Amino acid sequence: MKSIPFNDYYKEKLFSIPLFKELPDYLKSEILKRLDFRLQEINENTVILEQGDICCNLYVLLEGTLEVNIIDANGNEVLIEHIESPRAFATPHLFKKDNRFPATFRTLEKSVLLTATKDSTFHLISKYPDMLKSFLCVSGNCNVCTTMRLDVLSRKTIRERILVYLLKRLKKDTSTVKLTHTLTQLAEYINVTRPALSTEFNKMEKEGILKRKEGNYIELNRKAIKGII
């Protein structure tokens, strides 16, 4: 890791994330004045936070991609999600009583990370209601992602896990969803082997439950799925 200067390019990235995007201009100026932060450039395949570490900063990924994994009770590494920049992450853990990270965060490519101290973040949140509201909304969305992940893993069969994963990413009034993970990543995400995942996809396509299309799109047969989920 090496420190790098904060410039207009990273300023634009910072204020494009949901945590800061909708804030008034005067408050954005206050953030730059009062937030005690630093930027670091990090090489690919670098662990930046480990499961069990204490969360003592606000973390914003300005460039790059992170892979988030947990070690389960059996010692297996389980993929939780991929974090795409620009995005704040781990916000619900900053002010928790037990503020240890439940997962390990690793860079998948060269990345730029902004870290801001807990005290300076708390000062802004406590002083400006707009900042507090934004922080609570972002933290709530993080909890939704965790709930979705647990719902997928709670399913007993590979078929159910695949379909729940796809349905939760399906937009309203459509039957087509874009697969954002590769099959290898998806296999890790739903905690199955890559061959088992491919076999199940082939079976469901033959049975008319789904149809794979160009561009990583998958068309779902909602009527057929109702009898499974």
Confidence (pLDDT) at 26: 95
Instruction: State the Cα torsion 54-58-60-61 to the nearest 10°.
Output: -10
Say which amino acid occupies 28: K
Which residues lie closer than 8 Å to 75 by C-beta, 6 or more apart? none
Q: How many CB atoms lie within 10 A of CB 61?
A: 24
pLDDT in tens, the chain (229 residues): 899 999 999 999 999 999 999 999 999 999 999 999 999 999 999 999 999 999 999 999 999 999 988 877 677 777 778 888 999 998 988 998 888 888 899 999 999 999 999 999 999 999 999 999 999 888 877 665 666 666 777 788 999 999 988 988 887 778 898 887 788 888 888 888 899 999 999 999 999 999 999 888 999 998 888 878 7
Please report the pLDDT score of residue 31 as a whole number. Answer: 95
Report the pLDDT value the prediction gives residue 173, as an integer from 0 to 100: 79
DSSP letter for 88, please: E
| Cβ atoms within 10 Å of 24's Cβ, excluding its own | 10
* Calpha distance 109→10 (Å, rounded): 18
